[in-house]
Amino acid sequence: MLKTFLIGIKDLRIAFRDRAALILMLAAPFVLTLGLGMVTGRFSGNSNNGLADIPVVIVNLDNKELGNALADVFRSEELAELVEPTFSADPEAARLLVDEDKSAAAIIIPAGFTQSIIPSQNAFAPGSPEPAVIPVEIYANPSRPTSSGIIKSIVDEFISRVEEGSLSGQTSILQLMLSGRITPQQAEAAGTAMGQRLQDAPNNDTLAITLNSSTADGKAVQFDVLAYLAPGMALMFLMYTVSYGGRSILAEKTQGTLPRLLVTPTNSAQILGGKVFGIFLTGTAQMLILIGASSLLFQLKWGDALGVIALVLAAVFGATGWGMFITALARTPAQVASVGSAIMLIFGIMGGSFISLDQLPPVVQNFAKITPNSWALDGFTTLGLGGTLADLSTPITALLSMGMILFLISVVLFGKKNLVQK
């Protein structure tokens, strides 16, 4: 175990002394993120993240204060570039648009939604039952997970704000009633007025452009174009790093250090384990440096720290599996380099590093599921939209399974190649 660790550390050190590798591992993704950020207007405040004009259909059956407020959020100037809302009176027609992939999601605001949040005067009468909240329905398009996730986040944020306002409003009204300052008849009018103030409050500017739920301290997190671009680039160049690491396995054979390792009291499993650990360490270091640098220099919020760490580890694990698989198939370090570069680009494009997967054909979207880029990017988008570790079970499970399966195949292939002993 110790030797495995030592071999891994040695590989990490060598990787970070290779200037050419450093350029591709760190400088290239950073510069590309910077460039794409400029192209999309991130640094001029005119953000366009490639997720523009998300089609969403809104059915407002409520037609009261809160239903109208939610519809207005989607009509707001701040979201004009991001979403392209259409309005319908028929829920079935709206769902059909989603089924036909003409819309990323349908938001169906049911009749009585406002009433269920801002209760009538009877609700405050002693002994009256707790009013049941009528939920807003979001009919999401499964083939557009990122876009529908953004729509859901906008609605979640709105609901979260309304619930906060409702709870504090109800508490205040109850206090006023108990103190005798207002009568139950005045309570409904007071509640409506509070709802209206909530809608008109200055911080509703934030509400209107917020794509994410509130953070623990109650401040809203804005969706940032770089929160999509930076992980996309980092993940693409992570594939370079794992192929670089895989190449080092074959390079050790040709440069004579693998045979030399094999005549020390170190067994083959320790050596192979050490090489895998080295790839994993290097990939993790690369991702964490890129995350750290983009946080510091671009003020990029990656989201829940625990979730980011877990996702990075899972993504690097999945990518390392690919690195091992490529190495197991190749005969020479040069072959690993060529195949690795090709896979880096293919996975980068198909995994959504440049273009949101939602904008790619369904065939490509299905193919993308074999790439660590796609799953990890999905996870980073979730985190960027305010998700936490608990929301990452699907991408993390997929990445870990991917890594495990590829490791097993690679070990079998390495065994057949008789890499270590003649």
Partner 1 sequence: MPNILEVQNLAKNYGDFQAVKGVSFNIEEGEIFSLLGPNGAGKTTTISMLSTLYIPTSGDAIIAGYSITRNPMDVRNAIGVVPQDLALYEDLTAKENLIFWGQMYGLSGKSLANRVDEVLEQIGLTDKAKDRVKTYSGGMKRRVNIGVGLLHKPKLLFMDEPTVGIDPQSRRAILDTVKELNQQGMTLLYTTHYMEEAEELSNRVGIIDHGQLIAIGTQKELTKQVGETETLMLHISENDDPETLVTAFKGIKDVLEANVVNHEVSVITHSAKDVLAQVVTKANERGIKIHSIDIREPNLEAVFLHLTGRALRD
Closer residue to partner 1 (CB): 18 or 205: 18
Could you tell me how far CA 322 lies from the centroid of its own chain?
21
Structure tokens at 45: 């405040």
The tokens 């290239």 sit on which residue? 28
> Residue with structure tokens 């030592």?
6
Among 220, 177, 158, smallest CA distance to 169 is for: 177
46 or 267: CB nearest partner 1: 267
How many residues line the site for partner 1 (CB under 8 A)?
Answer: 21
Considering only residues 179-198, where is the footprint of partner 1 by CB under 8 A?
none
416 or 422: CB nearest partner 1: 422
54-60: strand order across its sheet: 83-88, 54-60, 105-109, 137-140
Nearer CB in complex with partner 1: 129/256: 256
- Minimum CB distance to partner 1, residue 358 (Å): 43
Which residue reads 């089609």 in tokens? Answer: 55
Toward partner 1, which CB reaches closer, 142 or 265? 265
The residues, ordered by sequence, that sit 6+ positions from 104 with a Cβ below 8 Å of its Cβ are 54, 55, 56, 98, 140, 141, 144, 147, 148, 150, 151, 358
State the nearest-atom distance from the C-beta of 246 to partner 1, in Å. 17
- Of residues 183 and 257, the one with the C-beta less far from partner 1: 257
Write down the least CB distance from residue 244 to partner 1, Å.
13
- Please report how many Cα atoms fall inside a 13 Å half-sphere around the Cα of residue 355, on the Cβ side: 12
Check: CB of residue 191 under 8 Å from CB of residue 179: no
Q: Could you count the other beta carbons within 10 Å of the beta carbon of residue 31? A: 12
Stretch that binds partner 1, among 13-21, 79-87, 141-149, 184-192 (CB under 8 A): 13-21
Is residue 20 close enough to count as binding partner 1 by CB under 8 A?
no
Other beta carbons within 10 angstroms of residue 384's beta carbon come to 31
Measured between alpha carbons, how far is 95 from 103 in angstroms, rounded to an integer? Answer: 9
Closest approach of partner 1 to the CB of residue 279, in Å: 16
Torsion angle (degrees, nearest 10) of CA 27, 28, 31, 32 = -160
Whose Cβ is closer to partner 1: residue 209's or residue 261's? 261
Site string for partner 1, 312-331 (x = CB under 8 A): --------------------
Q: Near partner 1 by CB under 8 A, which window of 10-18, 140-148, 320-328, 408-416? A: 10-18
> Binding to partner 1 by residue 126, rule CB under 8 A?
no
The torsion angle over the Cα atoms of residues 269, 310, 242 and 238, rounded to 10 degrees, is: 180
Does 14 interact with partner 1 (rule: CB under 8 A)?
A: yes
Nearest-approach distance from CB 263 to partner 1, in angstroms: 4
User: Contact between 133 and partner 1 (CB under 8 A)?
Assistant: no
Q: Residue 14 or residue 111: which is nearer to partner 1 going by CB?
A: 14
Q: Min. distance of Cβ 30 from partner 1 in angstroms?
A: 23
Shortest Å, Cβ 31 to partner 1: 24
Considering the complex, what minimum distance in angstroms separates the CB of residue 42 from partner 1?
37
Among residues 268, 252, 278, the alpha carbon closest in space to that of 420 is found at: 268
Residues 266/3, Cβ–Cβ less than 8 Å = yes
Could you say whether residue 120 binds partner 1 (CB under 8 A)? no
Phi and psi dihedrals of 212, rounded to 5? Answer: -135, 160
The least CB distance from residue 320 to partner 1, in Å, is: 21
Cβ nearer to partner 1, comparing 132 with 263: 263
Residue of 10, 75, 369, 417 interacting with partner 1 (CB under 8 A): 10
Contacts of partner 1 in 362-421 (CB under 8 A): 421
**Which residue from 316, 298, 292 is spatially nearest to 379, judged by alpha carbons?**
316
Work out whether 205 is an interface residue with partner 1 (CB under 8 A).
Answer: no
SS3 label, residue 300: coil
Number of Cβ atoms within 10 Å of the Cβ of 331: 9
> Does residue 45 bind partner 1 (CB under 8 A)?
no
Subset of residues 234 to 293 that bind partner 1, contact rule: CB under 8 A: 255-257, 259-267
Q: What is the enclosing helix (H) or strand (E) of 106?
A: strand 105-109
- Residue in 1, 17, 361, 363 binding partner 1, rule: CB under 8 A: 17
- Single out the residue of 255, 409, 270 nearest to residue 329, CA to CA: 409
Residue 25 beta carbon to partner 1: minimum distance, rounded to whole angstroms: 15
> Would you tell me which residues interact with partner 1 (CB under 8 A)?
3, 6, 10, 13-14, 17-18, 255-257, 259-267, 421-422
